[in-house]
Amino acid sequence: MAGRSFDLVLFGGTGDLAGRKLLPGMYFRYRDGDIADDSRIIATARQQLTTEQFHGLVRERLQQNLEAGDFDAGTCDGFLRHIQYVTTDAGDGASFQGLRPLLTDAPERARVFFLATSPTFFTAIASHLAEAGLVTPTARVVLEKPLGRDLASSREINEAVGRIFSEDRIYRIDHYLGKESVQNLLALRFGNSMFEPLWSRSWVRDVQITIGEQVGVEGRGEFYNQTGALRDMVQNHLLQLLCIVAMEPPTSIDPDSVRDAKLQVLRSLKRFSEADIQDRIVRGQYRAGASEGRPVPGFLDEPGIPHDSRTETFVALKAELCNWRWAGVPFYLRTGKRMQDRLAEIVVNFRNVPHAILQGPSGIAAHNRLVIRLQPHDGLTLQLQAKTPGDGMRLQPIQLDLAFQNAHKARMLDAYERLLMDVIRGRLTLFMRRDEQEAAWAWVEPILDAWAASDEAPKPYTAGTWGPAASSALIGRDNRAWHEEV
């Protein structure tokens, strides 16, 4: 049965995010009967296109980005009937008048403005929407990351957008929170009795969170050179995953209860001193190497990158939480481009048994471990110790695997697909609140400032590896190893 009627206005409608994630996500929602017959998707960008020309572009993007079995010409035709295109320019407020004829006939229904543009345009777009009389009591705005370059610019954007949209109508999106495995982590912790008693410093030895990408800057050199891995990945994705792992049980699943719990984690993060930034953080930059069996250039040879750039493409750090549950437990965070594999996972390493009466394997892998995989395939792996076959009582590690796509017959929604429908339905739980986001910026800003003042260049690493050797040394000093190195 189709859901409630809505108008989705997609700024940056001709861009990469729209073509790769947003429009394919809405195609699936249409195919599965989740879009009411009178709902509209209004794509807008600076390009001078007719709706018919944009339909051709959407069809091409769907064919490129969907699996062959998912694209159906008839379904695509029906989906395109919901889509219209209007040319607007964030620098020209008058151009927003072109949206009025498409929106003024149904002001009472859900209206979503998705800003899939550079954050530098957020303030102007919000202002122009208000000036054109398009911000109704049911209107919501979705803001993509990174929201600003630092705490001051983030506050400036939040204040400007907040003058037009109330906080309960601002959806700061982090698509990692829409992943099935992240929500299953909530279910694992708060829907089962067996893990929560173990979820503390008494039983957890360390936590590792890794987001590795095989791709480079992919034609976004100018943008990435101004952003870097700390702003692009650590300030949002990695810290949000840390919050989900470490937060106290919320009183309910309602938005403010969950976001209050995450905010407490961010406020508990120990700030880095100058010495800590040297000892506990590694920044790297990839050099020429190989990825998926083909040669790839180094970061400094990518289009749009100055040859003297010190922008980091890799960050590894050791974080600590100053609270009773997690005091003394290291949280190792790592992210990078041109890594050996495309990987996103959370690894919870439990402490060894207090007194070993059985002979186990030597080395670092003898403890219990929970691995939550986010990509490329969602799932859970629990490593236990079991007896080896044969005579004697010698232990070996075994794994209990749960692949979500095998456990559930229903198709798993893409993260953006789920989050888009949450916005339409007015569900804020999986979106960041302003104070939460600003707490994250406040934590990373001293690192940014220290790097800006330093003459030290990022440590080089070869494309197609797991990053600089200093990353292994960082965790090795604590007699630990990254999960893939075990």
Question: Does the active-site annotation cover 483?
Answer: no
Q: What is the DSSP string of 76-94?
A: HHHHHTTEEEEE-BTTBGG
**Helices 51-65 + 73-80 axis angle, to 10:** 140
DSSP state of 339: B
In the set 237, 307, 355, 367, the catalytic residue is 237
CA distance 217 to 254: 37
Alpha-carbon distance values, 30 to 76, 83, 417 (Å): 9, 12, 11
H/E element holding 10?
Answer: strand 6-11
CA distance 246 to 162: 29
Is the Cβ–Cβ distance between 473 and 280 less than 8 Å? no
Beta bridge partners of 112: 8, 140
Is the Cβ–Cβ distance between 482 and 475 less than 8 Å? yes
**How does 123-153 read in b/e, with b if 16+ C-beta sit within 10 Å?**
bbbbbbbbebebbbebbbbbbbbbbbbbbee
Both tokens assigned to 51: 């709706």
Q: Per the omega criterion (within 30 degrees of 0), is the bond before 24 cis?
A: no
To which residue do tokens 């990254």 refer?
Answer: 482
Is the Cβ–Cβ distance between 6 and 39 less than 8 Å? yes
Catalytic residues: 237
